[in-house]
Structure 1
Amino acid sequence: MSSDAPDSRRRLVAVTLDEDSIGRGNPDQEHERAIAIYDILEANTFAVASHDGGPYALKLGLVENKLAFAISTADGEPVMTHLLSLTPFRRVIRDYEMICDSYFKAIRTASPSQIEAIDMGRRGVHNEASELLKLRLEGKVEIDHDTARRLFTLIFALHWKG
């Protein structure tokens, strides 16, 4: 057995969005969502705490204003559904949206040092959101920091107004 065999079971191999509950976005939103999903699938650590077999497929949807993580094995066997309240994320999503807006405006007119300062703030808010996501999934789904960052990017892309 190769040394990376255990990791191949602790990962996502598919991420889809439930169009019935989330709906489709405008072309820019769809592009951001596709990039976020690609980044997640490119490199991730993901395991269901009470389950000993992956790799996994994740379908995200909305159920009563909660984000539904419908998790199955790669071959489609249901594992669990976890409903994640988005209420704790409202402030950080709002902060992230504001700082991203500032960043994109600054790219056009600000000095490199101003852009760098805003980007450091953006990364800080992104890290805060990632830690919140890890905390909210604790005991249910095990993810590493980078996977939490990529999942938050996707959650943000679902909210993005465009």
Structure 2
Amino acid sequence: MSASHRLKSVEIDAATLPAPTAEIDHQRRVAIFDLVEQNSFIPEGAEGGPYALKLSSQDNRLAFDIVGPEFSRTHVLSLSPMKTVIRDYALICESYYEALRGSSPSQIESVDMGRRGLHNEGAELLKSRLEGKVELDQETARRLFTLVCALYRRG
């Protein structure tokens, strides 16, 4: 795999996605930073990158506009198959933050294990939804799943 098969930038079309609170906007920016900082992103049929990714919502679906040298493609994914894991992940994240404020270390560890398990499940589901379109390694899928959750999180 060429080192150029990576994302150099990620942009969000804010006009097409739910308006974020200040906290959610911060989560989105951190997720984008983490994703761009380290990733493996190989669009099907692309010779090499780096790539720019723009995420937007089109007809209640998540659109991935990918542009690279001599490459441009849009993939639109229904998030319906991912709704449950996105919702459950948001709920367990809330539980985790509550646990941090006053639970015992063993309780925090238990909630964190569940949170990491759902995060992995969401990443695997996202990887499978992008199969044949974009190849991602596990860590990139985790970072992208974090961003997708931040895009659809309500304040």
- TM normalised by structure 1 equals 0.91
1:6 aligned residue (2, 24, 45): 2
Secondary structure of the residue aligned to 2:141 is helix
1:133 aligned residue (118, 123, 126): 126
Deviation at 1:24, TM superposition (A): 4.0
Tell me if 1:48 matches 2:43: yes
- Partners of 1:94 and 1:19 lie apart in 2 by 21
RMSD of aligned Cα (Å): 1.4
The structure with higher relative contact order (CA 8 Å, sep 6+) is 2
- Partners of 1:85 and 1:160 lie apart in 2 by 16
Query: What does the per-residue CA deviation read over 1:51-109, in whole Å, with 9 as the maximum and x for residues that have no partner?
Result: 11211000000000100000001x6x651000011001110011101111111111112
Counterparts in 2 of 1:23 and 1:110: CA distance versus 1, 3 Å: closer
One-letter amino acid of the counterpart of residue 103, structure 2: A
Alignment of 1:74-93 (within 5 A): 79-93=72-86
Secondary structure of the residue aligned to 2:99 is helix
- Residue 149 of structure 1 corresponds to 142
Counterparts in 2 of 1:63 and 1:78: CA distance versus 1, 3 Å: farther
Q: Any conservation in 1 of the 2:10–2:36 contact (CA below 8 Å)? A: yes
- TM normalised by structure 2 equals 0.95
Deviation at 1:25, TM superposition (A): 1.4
- Residue 159 of structure 1 corresponds to 152
- Partners of 1:96 and 1:159 lie apart in 2 by 12
Tell me if 1:121 matches 2:117: no
- Partners of 1:42 and 1:53 lie apart in 2 by 18
Which deviates further from its counterpart, 84-93 or 16-25?
16-25
Tell me if 1:110 matches 2:110: no
- Residue 28 of structure 2 corresponds to 33
Moved over 3 A (4+): none
Secondary structure of the residue aligned to 2:101 is helix
Q: Which runs of 5+ in 1 are unaligned?
A: none
Counterparts in 2 of 1:36 and 1:137: CA distance versus 1, 3 Å: same
